[in-house]
Structure 1
């Protein structure tokens, strides 16, 4: 009995080819493993060829599967172009799994998610808030579709688009009685505990290297994996914190925190959109274009 190929089968084929797992593909496509197996079996039956070799839990493409890959990707791209011509953005449907770093949550996330909902109201969002380290792993494993975090991700299968750079400043509660009249040296700052980001971040690495060069006494550096926790500790007068200016703008305006000038300038933190290049996702270019637009507006707001 002749059966036609449908786009769901093609998309399933591309995900199995990418993830090398029926189970992970089922999780990705929000269905069951038997449903994935059935789609692949029907596709193989229609084409009259075997697309995957299955050896216990190991799955790899056959030669025919390898040959099908570029045609499957082209078919999805063509279908996406057809939708672009016929449908408006607000009619686009589907599920998008977003990974968001905590830093983004405390800065531009509300504007991004709000405008995304307005532009694509039929798009279902699944938002995962996690540390940048975990998001790096999840985007590489393709368990999330996009990640908005401090980047970039060093992986040849991951595309990175730099959107924003946050200005980092030293901030402390007035109760610490640190001078705000002149730039302090790192040696002067390190009299107090220094609150900064986790040990596996670029900021922590650069700060500790500079401290080894510039301080006479062993500094007390407290790495914290939560920007909100760093801010809370700073407000409570526990130490001098490294934080994005935008995140604590209201604290600086009310005087709850003071900016502390330092002779060593903190490196900025880059806000990156990262996404897998394979398999092809028709929404990728739309979301990236929207992200760049939101980032541009947000950057203009920060300059005011």
Structure 2
């Protein structure tokens, strides 16, 4: 059972298509089909049903899928461990970040990193923080630099690096601007544009409202903070944005609630052997940290008040 056949099997299973799997692995479709045929011959069972051009895993395919992923992760882990012995910093670093952090936090750090380690092939993906978490859990990503989850995860090492003070904001000509002070209940009576319901940022905000017995609903939502800023700026509703994103055409609202903070940082799988490239990236992130030692030592899954 060779690793190339397992890679082809997982690609077809993930893409549910031989042609898309071929594109993903930069191979021809006949080459993918041949590798699947070889694997099916080796294991002695059919792994895919092919019905009306649709691809579906058989029961055997479902059984093999997590085991194949585990085998490939173990092989990659062994390769990294052996490569680390040389002390060289090179190879591919699979890394993800959120759009907001990629735009506002990482550029100077990435510039210094690539200058210091030109042999590293940086495979940088822009993903929602929640998707990046899953990528690290699955082993597809070696490191993610994202908004940190309000909930801890036993299989991940999560380290805060920065913190965003989140602000309630509205357009300069919005009716809420005229209010001297507001309650969370009063905000609920007005249209809002907020991060998507499954995002970590929305979870922090929802918990704040729930702590006062309020149900938070959004008139519109998107996972991109720059888009939220635009929607808020043109008067579609109030929103919550990092303090660093407030511009002259937005106004911070005085809301009677304690400050709300969200942690940003990196995460890695604690069972994974990190490459030298990943270790150097972590070192660069640690050097960029603007949090005090006391903050990091007391980091919890609750709302954060430094």
Please, what TM-score do these two structures have when normalized by structure 2? 0.65
User: 1:128 Cα shift?
Assistant: 1.1
Instruction: Establish whether residue 146 from structure 1 lines up as the match of residue 150 from structure 2.
Output: no
Matched, 1:80 2:84: yes
- Whether the 8 Å contact between 1:98 and 1:128 is mirrored in structure 2 is yes
What corresponds to 2:301 in structure 1? none
1:102-117 pair list within 5 angstroms? 102-117=99-114
Tell me if 1:291 matches 2:295: no
Report the Cα offset of residue 225 of structure 1.
1.6
1:134-213 aligned at under 5 Å gives the runs 134-152=131-149, 154-179=152-177, 182-211=180-209
Question: What's the counterpart of residue 281 of structure 1?
Answer: 274
Deviation at 1:108, TM superposition (A): 0.3
Residues 53 and 180 (structure 1), Cα distance of their counterparts in 2 relative to 1, 3 Å cut: farther
Instruction: Report which stretch shifted further, 212-221 or 102-111.
Output: 212-221
Gaps spanning 5+ residues in structure 2: where? 12-20, 36-41, 48-60, 292-306
Cα deviation, 1:44-85, whole Å, max 9, x if unaligned, reads xxxxxxxx9997652859xxx9xxx8xx9789547524x33x
Distance 1:206 1:125, change over 3 A: closer
1:266 Cα offset (Å) = 4.9
Question: What secondary structure, in the 3-state scheme, does the structure 1 residue paired with 2:176 have?
Answer: coil
The reply on whether 1:236 has 2:230 as its aligned counterpart is: no
Deviations 1:83-112 (A, max 9, x none): 33xx5xxxx321112111122123202122
Counterpart secondary structure, 1:286: helix
* Residue 258 in structure 1 maps to residue 262 in structure 2: no
Please give the alpha-carbon distance, in whole angstroms, between the structure 2 residues aligned to 1:257 and 1:166: 17
Contact 1:170 1:259 in 2 (8 A): yes
Larger Rg, first or second structure (1 or 2): 1
Structure 1 Cα separation of the partners of residues 155 and 212 of structure 2: 39
Structure 1: give runs of 5+ residues left out of the alignment. Answer: 1-12, 39-51, 298-304
TM-score (norm 1): 0.65
SS, match of residue 296 in structure 1: coil
SS at match of 1:269: strand
In the aligned structure 2, how far is the partner of 1:156 from the partner of 1:296?
25
1:10 aligned partner: none
RMSD after superposition: 4.1
Measure the CA separation in 2 of the matches of 1:180 and 1:140: 47
Q: How far 1:242 sits from its partner (Å)?
A: 0.3
Aligned residues between the structures: 247
Report the alpha carbon displacement of residue 177 of structure 1 after superposing the two structures with TM: 3.9
Distance 1:219 1:155 in 2: 27
Matches of 1:54 and 1:296, distance apart in 2: 56
Counterpart-to-counterpart distance in 2, 1:203 and 1:170:
13
Q: 1:21-50: CA deviations, max 9, x gaps?
A: 4445999xx787x9xxx9xxxxxxxxxxxx
Verify: 1:271 aligned to 2:270, yes or no.
no
Change (3 A) 1:234 1:95: same
Alpha carbons 1:111, 1:294 under 8 Å: kept: no
1:22-171 pair list within 5 angstroms: 22-23=7-8, 24=10, 58=64, 77=81, 80-81=84-85, 83-84=86-87, 92-152=89-149, 154-171=152-169
What displacement does 1:145 show? Answer: 1.8
